[in-house]
Amino acid sequence: MRLLFTGRAVRAARKSFISPTKPNRRINTNAAVESEFSRDVPIRGVEPDTRSIRPTDIHPTEQSAASSQGDPFKAFLLEKQEPNTIINRDANSGVVISSTPYRLDSTSNLSPSILKLLDRRLYLEPNHPISITRKLIESVFPQPVYQNYIATNPVVSTAANFDLLGFPADHPGRSTTDTYYVNKDRVLRTHSSAHQPAAFQKMLKPGSASGYTICADVFRRDSIDRSHFPVFHQMEGARLWRKPRKDERGLPLSTYESFHRRRDTMKKNLEELGTTTVDAEDPAPAFTLDNRNPRQLSHHHEEVRLMAAHLKRSLETLVDKVFSAAKQASISSGHLDPSANSEPLKVRWVEAYFPFTTPSWELEVYWQDSWLELLGCGIVQQSILEQADLSDHIGWAWGLGIERLAMLLFNIPDIRLFWSEDRRFLDQFQAGKISRYEPFSKYPACYKDVAFWIDPSPAAASPILSEPSSSAAATGGLAASAGGDSTKSPPSSSPTKLHKSAFHENDVMEIVRDVAGSLAEDVRLVDEFVHPTQGRKSLCYRISYRSLERTLTNEEVNDLHARICERLGEMGAVELR
Ligand code: PHE
């Protein structure tokens, strides 16, 4: 179940946590298949890996603290050399992720299916659509102004993922139903913003870049359908401007003078961006100090105006480049008549809310007859820069979901395909080129229902009171930023305090993923009712099994389904019907 937004006003007023960077239910995947892109047309400005600078890795500075020093069990985990596998010994339980040992505790909810996906590093496979899209985005934010990072270790502290970014203690994204916990202090990052503090700290060094991009795989416990997968990729960007303290001769500048110098640099940088051909609708370019989408008190309105203009122009340039590359490719290959589609790309800016930026916006693109949310962005909260010892700096940040863009660019109809190891999928793409995905075959789906009673405790009732997931999928519900969804779970400041036996839909999803893996195409609630006398609630989920690579046999599906039912039966909070 997801939060259904009915309008912008509601969105801004509720200060809800939205996540435009999540693969979007609004993507009309069927429409995406039908859209026209060509095969093998080079993306202008993006070179294959061999000719470009490789992005550098980024680790939160505290990462090194998680070593095995002084902990014999962690040393044992390293000795075992079984990465991404839960290892138990005596009363201890742990896992090695990205060569780092972690102890698990009662908060841990890592599943074997998620651990299996940790070392794929699709963003580094030069010929993979995720990597091709990453490089296309990086080409708009290139070195030396931007340092292009990749964050390889997905384990971050709860502080980096939530606290340092200003997430309130009761934010639903922190719950174990929405986020994968390694232990009570560490999670699989739910967004690339978890690396903001580390990336900002790197900007302290004299002569370092004044901006960055970060590419990372991110993890959210979520529903199962063609545009949701528990791992997806995000790209994050930021740009800062420093108030100079001294002039060219090393003499101290007055506050007034240094403010003016920073403002002049911002003006110059804005001019350098040039113009784009996109038709941008921006109903609220101004901002006020009221609480709708306020600027920060310490920011001068002229600075905010310039930063916002630079941010928006940079992102319009990105969108322009991405969508014209796609259009150009379609035209060159004869899939699109050049005269039929000569209108400029339409985009619009919408007020938004993120705990770590203000004012904030989303960018929507008009694509195949509907508005598609593409990214979230805003002016970085000054407190975050201060924590990184960058109080002389101000700047902007944005974040987007790579799959959402890649599905449009390459006509990829199902998010599971990105994880396919089938050569018939992988061999269709080449570094530096946008290729139209040609489905190699459509294998039949097999549907099976599972019905159960849920525990009638009050906590159990809340997750399923809103609309069934099927309707949410159609109407475009949005996940909360960083994996939360305020309709889903009883919020809790401590993940361990959660009502363990309460039913949560994501637990069903996790069982289905563990047993069926990517053979589960879709899981949706098809029926729910309350027993007239007992007051118990019954739910019926329909699981659609389909392989992207072959036809599943009846026995195979029956076996998978029986195992799922068995696992559901073992789950304390439900009783199979
Ligand atoms: N991290 C946000 C998300 O996952 C996106 C974002 C990044 C928004 C940076 C603003 C600035 O939804």
Residue 100 CB contacts under 8 Å (≥ 6 apart), including other chains: 63, 66, 67, 153, 155
Q: Which residues line ligand 1 (CB under 6 A)?
A: 19, 21, 191, 193, 236, 354, 357, 376-378, 397-399, 481-482
pLDDT tens column, 48-106: 444 455 677 776 544 444 567 789 999 999 999 999 999 999 999 999 999 999 999 99
Across the range 225-239, mean pLDDT stands at: 94
484 alpha carbon – ligand 1 mean position (Å)? 13
Q: Are 360 and 352 in contact (CB under 8 A)?
A: yes
* Mean pLDDT on 332-357: 84
Nearest CA to ligand 1 atom 5: 399
Going by pLDDT thresholds of 50, 70 and 90, the confidence category of residue 166 is very high
pLDDT value at 479 more than 80: no
Mutate to test the pocket of ligand 1, among 220, 222, 481 (most ligand atoms within 8 A of CB): 481
CA 273 to centroid of ligand 1, rounded, Å: 23
The rounded percent of the chain whose pLDDT value lies above 70 is 79
Residue 59: what pLDDT? 62
Query: Can you give the pLDDT at residue 127?
Result: 97
Q: Cα of 557 to ligand 1 centre, how many Å?
A: 39
Q: To the nearest whole percent, how much of the chain has pLDDT over 90?
A: 59
Residue 495 backbone class (left: φ over 0; alpha: ψ -120 to 50; beta: rest): alpha
Could you tell me the pLDDT band of residue 435, with boundaries at 50, 70 and 90? confident
Q: Which atom of ligand 1 is nearest to the CA of 196?
A: 9
Atom of ligand 1 nearest to the CA of 190: 4
pTM of the model: 0.82
Give the mean model confidence (pLDDT) for residues 419-424. 94
> What is the distance in A from the centroid of ligand 1 to the CA of 377?
6
Q: Which residues pair with 507 in a beta bridge?
A: none
Q: Per-residue confidence at 535, pLDDT binned at 50, 70, 90?
A: confident
pLDDT score at 441 = 82
The mean per-residue pLDDT over the stretch 180-187 comes to 97
* pLDDT of amino acid 156: 96
Q: What's the chain's Rg over C-alpha atoms?
A: 24
Of the CA atoms within 13 Å of residue 330, those in its CB half-sphere come to 21
Question: Residue range 382-394: average pLDDT?
Answer: 95
Instruction: Kindly give the number of the ligand 1 atom that is closest to the alpha carbon of 375.
Output: 5
Distance 186 CA to ligand 1 centre (A): 20
Which residue among 171, 356, 400, 478 has the greatest number of ligand 1 atoms within 8 angstroms of its CB, and so is best to mutate?
Answer: 356
Binned at pLDDT 50, 70 and 90, residue 207 comes out as confident
Q: What is the pLDDT of residue 53?
A: 56
Give the pLDDT confidence score for residue 46 in this predicted structure: 46
Q: Which residues are within 8 A (CB) of 91 and not within 5 positions of it... i.e. 6 or more apart?
A: none
Residue 119 or 475, more confident: 119
Q: What is the pLDDT of residue 41?
A: 43
Q: Which atom of ligand 1 is nearest to the CA of 193?
A: 1
> Alpha-carbon distance 187 to 102, whole Å?
11
**C-alpha 31 – ligand 1 centre gap (Å):** 26
CA 559 – ligand 1 centroid, Å: 41
- What is the rounded distance in angstroms from the CA atom of residue 359 to the CA atom of residue 355? 10
| Closest ligand 1 atom number to CA of residue 399 | 7
Reply yes or no on whether the pLDDT at 466 is more than 70: no
**469 or 211, which is more confident:** 211
pLDDT at 368: 78
Q: Which residue has the higher pLDDT, 22 or 11?
A: 22
Stretch 174-186: mean pLDDT: 96
Q: Two tokens at 166?
A: 């200003």
Q: pLDDT at position 20, please?
A: 44
Q: Please give the distance, rounded to the nearest whole angstrom, from the Cα atom of residue 6 to the centre of ligand 1.
A: 21
What pLDDT score was predicted for residue 22?
53
